[in-house]
């Protein structure tokens, strides 16, 4: 059995355990029978016959009949087996109470996915699943010991679950040269405390990783940022049973929980078979395909099903707790439809997707032919589509992002699709980007994901909003439609280089179109003279400009209400030294007004919403009823700028981060039920066909965002000063100068008192005003920071030499520094 198949079997057992544990019955009529491998079916049959005779003496007639019926059902199940299967046999029989208070008979028998060494027979008012749970807990578990000068942490990793078992802090003396005649005594005391620290860790390791004189982990990883881990590994105090289990010693940059996470990553090759690592790698590959714009991914229930029908899905990725119900419906004319609903839709009371819209319909709901869990259906039928099924959790960062950002279902495709659906929403034959081979043409066509629905009717498959033919956009094709990849931009530049017509500078901005960054770009660059091109992420803007695919880039830098945009700050800091050829050459200010967009509930009176009582000083009043809104998509900055409105009018509603406010509007447009809303700008409402549910919901009426304009460095940037107001051809047009600003980054000696103050004092001495100071971890050493300082003045226009004097002095007192650009002040 492959790892993927084993994971599916584990998932099935988990679901079965969950259902069995929730079941309850009247009396003691629920039988749990487990027969281990190499046992005899005849022995169990004989035991059941004896139990039948005993149960005949039960005084309560109702209970007696229930128990006898359950024993009879169990005996009938055993007759299906001539011998016990290799992994044993599990049987559950009895009558359970449904949610309506009715009794329903349950008969389950199966061979577990691996040997079960438990013999069990119990007749109770519940099913006993402890032995099945033990099968799931027997996955390999690895222990981690993280040591540094501040303390130690003991943790375990089992499957996709990591757990901190124990941790403690320690205060160790640092090495120094003081003490005079007592220096040797101080050194001995220091060594003694270090020795005691290692001894304590060794003792706690025994307590945490040895149970009943047996090591309870399959292997040990020792990690730390100093020599303590090596001292422990070589120490005689370290239990030999644990020492023999050490499979890797790794260096990490941090202690505590951060060090634990880093140790898991560094030991990933050693722990390659652990599901937590496998899950991160799998979803990481999925995200990589999206970021590279390969078009070889799909997401969303209907889009993924259509790819499955065409045999295009190589690996199907599904959230293990995905709550989607699969409905097969029949209208008045006998045509069958498939509808997939989420738990939120089912609890909202919206039944519009079940309405019969056939010509002969009288307005009633369609007949329910079948209703089942989508997870259970796909677990049984995935092999029909020639795909590999992988269940993932939301415990890892990647898994959580996959569940919240992509709906918990998607797939890695065998080849790139031009399109999964045509303009009318009907299924079309996908066109592979590469010609198919004869072997491919001989492969049997997969069975339709719709089961009973004929190919002619598949185009009527309904999306989450219940509208025929509407399905979520395919990730690759949508990204290609709204944004462009870095490689494509470089290719466009090369093609334009061969043209005889004058080239227009290409400007990359954070898309999709209608975003605030798009507005800032249009205010800085004339569309008559420039080609404005949206890209998917802030990193894509930096990459496009650095690679030469774009002449300029526009990115958000800071907001007057919510502060700096951390992604932009991180790429400007350039801690990985990949954007050294970029410089900031301009800035743009945009007054930001946020709107709540979505689909208004039909018939809801705007006046009623306007009378809503506000519980805080929220700006903006709802123009429509918001009671049907269950989730809101937007950029993290937008959420931070609208906290008062959300607290007052949408308390408890799920807030989901996406890459831009325009992307949020796009996602809200796909949910016609209105349960999904977005915080975006007014132009996005028109672009995506959304209603404005509330206007100007930002916390402050002076809410403003500043954007930076990026370009590649030029020869004139170093050592040469441009004349005031002189700009290169195509650069962002600006009004009359209002002064200049510059930006530098630097690090200082971490343990040198007053080092930061010394750098900042340089600007005071030469008379340069500081306008902004930001910091973020340097990733060189723990708790060492890199600083970005913005100040008044320009390296290009510096008649008094203040800027050059300041930079010369910064170079002397800072540990390292970099000039990031000068530009004309726009406010």
Residue 338 belongs to some domain of the structure: no
Give yes or no for residue 528 having a pLDDT over 90. Answer: no
Q: How far apart are CA 127 and CA 36, in angstroms?
A: 18
pLDDT digits (tens, 9 = 90+) for 373-395: 888 888 888 888 888 898 888 87
Cβ atoms < 10 Å from Cβ of 33: 23
Tokens of 736: 């009359």
Give yes or no for residue 516 having a pLDDT over 60. Answer: yes
| Mean pLDDT, rounded, for 422-430 | 35
The per-residue pLDDT for 21 is 80
What pTM was computed for the model? 0.42
Tokens of 72: 């009879």
Instruction: Using pLDDT thresholds of 50, 70 and 90, give the confidence band for residue 622.
Output: confident
pLDDT digits (tens, 9 = 90+) for 271-298: 755 567 678 888 888 988 887 778 888 8
Percent of the chain past pLDDT 70, that is, above it, reads: 81
| Mean pLDDT, rounded, for 336-352 | 81
Residue closest to 219 by CA, chosen among 250, 239, 255, 243:
243
Do 319 and 406 share a structural domain? yes
Give yes or no for residue 158 having a pLDDT over 50. Answer: yes
Number of domains in the chain: 6
Percent of the chain past pLDDT 90, that is, above it, reads: 19
Cβ atoms < 10 Å from Cβ of 724: 12
Give yes or no for residue 742 having a pLDDT over 90. Answer: yes
CB 630 within 8 A of CB 645: no
Residue 817 belongs to some domain of the structure: yes
Domain that holds residue 50: 3-136
Helix (H) or strand (E) holding 541: helix 538-547
Give yes or no for residue 663 having a pLDDT over 80. Answer: yes
Do 120 and 76 share a structural domain? yes
| Mean pLDDT, rounded, for 531-559 | 89
Q: Show which of 556, 591, 626 is a domain's final residue.
A: 591
Lookup result for tokens 């032995």: 131
Least confident of 341-350, 451-460, 578-587, 734-743: 451-460
The per-residue pLDDT for 491 is 54
Give yes or no for residue 770 having a pLDDT over 70. Answer: yes
Do 451 and 313 share a structural domain? yes
| Mean pLDDT, rounded, for 642-648 | 89
Do 436 and 295 share a structural domain? yes
Do 577 and 495 share a structural domain? yes
- Main-chain dihedrals φ then ψ at residue 798, nearest 5 degrees: -135, 65
Helix or strand or coil: residue 270?
Answer: coil
Residue closest to 621 by CA, chosen among 633, 607, 632, 634:
607
Contacts of 487 (CB under 8 A, 6+ apart): 292, 293, 549
> Which DSSP state fits 318?
E
Instruction: Using pLDDT thresholds of 50, 70 and 90, give the confidence band for residue 566.
Output: confident
Angle between helices 538-547 and 486-497 (to 10 degrees): 30
Instruction: Using pLDDT thresholds of 50, 70 and 90, give the confidence band for residue 605.
Output: very low
Q: How far apart are CA 50 and CA 60, in angstroms?
A: 19
Instruction: Using pLDDT thresholds of 50, 70 and 90, give the confidence band for residue 694.
Output: very high
Lookup result for tokens 């991914």: 297
The per-residue pLDDT for 468 is 31
What's the mean pLDDT when you consider all of the chain?
79
Q: Show which of 136, 152, 176 is a domain's final residue.
A: 136
Pairing of strands 297-299, 409-413: antiparallel
Q: Which long-range contacts (CB under 8 A, 24 or more apart) does 491-496 make?
A: 492/549, 493/548, 493/549, 493/550
| Mean pLDDT, rounded, for 758-768 | 92
pLDDT digits (tens, 9 = 90+) for 202-249: 999 999 999 988 888 888 999 998 788 888 988 889 999 999 888 889
Most confident range, picked from 77-86, 448-457, 465-474: 77-86
Do 322 and 294 share a structural domain? yes
Q: In whole angstroms, how far apart are CA 806 and each of 14, 544, 644?
A: 65, 32, 43
Q: Show which of 550, 575, 591 is a domain's final residue.
A: 591
pLDDT digits (tens, 9 = 90+) for 2-15: 556 667 777 777 78
| Mean pLDDT, rounded, for 38-60 | 87
CA torsion angle for 745, 749, 755, 756 (degrees, to 10)? 30
Cβ atoms < 10 Å from Cβ of 497: 8
b/e string for 568-583 if b means 16 or more Cβ within 10 A? bbbbbbbeeeebeebb
Do 418 and 376 share a structural domain? yes
CA 50 to chain centre: 55
The per-residue pLDDT for 216 is 87
Give yes or no for residue 434 having a pLDDT over 60. Answer: no
Tell me: cis bond preceding 512? Omega within 30 of 0 counts: yes
Tokens of 792: 């008044």
Residue 711 belongs to some domain of the structure: no
Instruction: Using pLDDT thresholds of 50, 70 and 90, give the confidence band for residue 671.
Output: confident
Instruction: Using pLDDT thresholds of 50, 70 and 90, give the confidence band for residue 478.
Output: very low
Helix or strand or coil: residue 785?
Answer: strand
Q: How far apart are CA 573 and CA 787, in angstroms?
A: 8
Do 501 and 471 share a structural domain? no
Q: How far apart are CA 110 and CA 94, in angstroms?
A: 16
pLDDT digits (tens, 9 = 90+) for 70-114: 898 888 888 888 889 988 999 999 888 877 777 788 888 888 877
| Mean pLDDT, rounded, for 698-704 | 87
Q: How far apart are CA 120 and CA 436, in angstroms?
A: 55
Do 259 and 231 share a structural domain? yes
CATH of the domain at 810: 3.30.70.260
CATH of the domain at 584: 3.40.190.10
> Which DSSP state fits 57?
T
Q: Where are the beta strands (DSSP E) in 349-402?
A: 367-373, 388-392
**What's the N-to-C CA distance of the chain in angstroms?**
66
Instruction: Using pLDDT thresholds of 50, 70 and 90, give the confidence band for residue 721.
Output: very low
Residue 116 belongs to some domain of the structure: yes
Helix (H) or strand (E) holding 533: strand 531-535
The per-residue pLDDT for 473 is 33
């Amino acid at each position: 059995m492959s790892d993927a198949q084993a994971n599916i079997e584990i998932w099935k057992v988990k679901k079965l355990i969950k259902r069995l544990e929730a079941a309850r019955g009247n009396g003691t009529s629920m039988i749990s029978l487990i027969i281990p491998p190499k046992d005899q079916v005849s022995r169990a049959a004989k035991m059941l016959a004896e139990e039948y005779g005993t149960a005949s003496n039960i005084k309560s007639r109702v209970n007696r009949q229930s128990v006898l019926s359950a024993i009879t059902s169990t005996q009938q199940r055993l007759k299906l087996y001539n011998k016990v299967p290799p992994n044993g046999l599990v049987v559950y029989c009895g009558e359970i109470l449904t949610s309506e208070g009715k009794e329903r008979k349950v008969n389950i028998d199966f061979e577990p996915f691996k040997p079960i060494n438990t013999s069990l027979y119990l007749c109770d008012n519940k099913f006993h699943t402890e032995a099945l749970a033990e099968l799931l807990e027997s996955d390999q578990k690895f222990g981690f010991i993280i040591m540094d000068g501040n303390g130690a942490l003991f943790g375990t990793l089992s499957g996709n679950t990591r757990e901190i078992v124990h941790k403690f802090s320690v205060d160790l003396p640092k090495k120094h040269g003081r003490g005079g005649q007592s220096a040797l005594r101080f050194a001995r005391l220091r060594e003694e405390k270090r020795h005691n620290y290692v001894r304590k860790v060794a003792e706690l390791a025994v307590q945490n990783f040895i149970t009943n004189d047996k090591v309870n982990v399959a292997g040990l990883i020792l990690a730390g940022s100093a020599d303590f881990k090596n001292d422990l590994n070589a120490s005689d105090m370290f239990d030999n049973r644990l020492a023999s289990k050490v499979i890797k010693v790794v260096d990490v940059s941090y202690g505590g929980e951060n060090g634990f996470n880093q140790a898991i990553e560094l030991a990933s090759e050693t722990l390659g078979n652990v599901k937590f690592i496998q899950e991160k790698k799998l979803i990481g590959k999925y995200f990589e395909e999206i970021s590279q714009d390969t078009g070889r991914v799909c997401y969303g229930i209907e889009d993924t099903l259509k790819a499955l029908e065409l045999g295009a899905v190589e690996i199907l990725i599904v959230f293990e707790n995905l709550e989607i119900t699969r409905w097969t419906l029949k209208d008045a004319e006998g045509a069958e439809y498939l509808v997939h609903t989420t738990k939120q839709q089912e609890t909202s009371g919206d039944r519009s997707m079940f309405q019969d819209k056939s010509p002969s319909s009288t307005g009633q709901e369609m007949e329910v032919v079948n209703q089942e869990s989508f997870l259970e259906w796909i677990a049984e039928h995935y092999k029909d589509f020639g795909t590999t099924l992988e269940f993932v959790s939301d415990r890892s960062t990647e898994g959580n992002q996959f569940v919240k950002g992509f709906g918990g279902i998607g797939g890695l495709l065998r080849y790139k699709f031009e399109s999964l659906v045509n303009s009318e929403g009907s299924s079309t034959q996908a066109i592979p980007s590469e010609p198919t081979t004869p072997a491919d043409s001989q492969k049997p066509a997969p069975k339709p994901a719709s089961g009973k629905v004929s190919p002619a009717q598949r185009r009527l498959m309904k999306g989450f909003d219940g509208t025929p033919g509407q399905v979520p956009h395919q990730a690759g094709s949508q990204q290609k439609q709204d944004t462009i990849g870095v490689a494509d931009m470089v290719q466009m530049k090369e093609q334009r280089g061969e043209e005889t017509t004058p080239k227009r500078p290409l400007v990359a901005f954070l898309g999709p179109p209608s975003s605030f960054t798009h507005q800032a770009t249009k205010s800085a660059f004339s569309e008559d003279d420039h080609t404005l091109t949206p890209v998917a992420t802030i990193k894509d803007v930096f990459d496009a400009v650095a690679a030469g695919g774009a002449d300029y880039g526009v990115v958000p830098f800071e907001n007057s209400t919510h502060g700096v945009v951390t992604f932009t700050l991180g790429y400007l800091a350039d801690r990985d030294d990949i954007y050294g050829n970029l410089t900031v050459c301009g800035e743009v200010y945009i007054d930001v007004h946020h709107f709540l967009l979505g689909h208004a509930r039909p018939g809801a009176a705007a006046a009623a919403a306007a009378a809503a009582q506000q519980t805080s000083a929220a700006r903006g009043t709802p123009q429509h009823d918001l009671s049907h809104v269950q989730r809101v998509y937007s950029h993290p900055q937008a959420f931070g700028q609208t906290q008062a409105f959300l607290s007052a009018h949408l308390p408890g509603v799920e807030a989901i981060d996406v890459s831009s406010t325009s992307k949020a509007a796009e996602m809200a447009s796909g949910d016609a039920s209105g349960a999904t809303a977005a915080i975006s700008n007014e132009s996005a409402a028109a672009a995506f066909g959304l209603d404005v549910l509330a206007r100007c919901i930002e916390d402050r009426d002076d809410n403003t965002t500043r954007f930076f304009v990026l370009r590649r460095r030029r020869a004139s940037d170093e050592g040469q000063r441009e004349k005031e107001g002189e700009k290169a051809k195509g650069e962002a047009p600006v009004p009359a100068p209002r002064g200049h600003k510059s930006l530098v980054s630097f690090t200082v000696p971490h343990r040198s008192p007053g080092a930061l103050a010394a750098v900042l004092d340089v600007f005071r001495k030469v008379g340069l005003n500081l306008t902004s100071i930001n910091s973020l971890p340097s990733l060189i050493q723990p708790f060492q920071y890199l600083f970005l300082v913005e100040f008044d003045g320009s390296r290009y226009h510096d008649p008094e030499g203040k800027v050059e004097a300041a930079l010369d002095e910064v170079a002397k007192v800072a540990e390292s520094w970099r000039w990031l650009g000068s530009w004309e002040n726009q406010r």
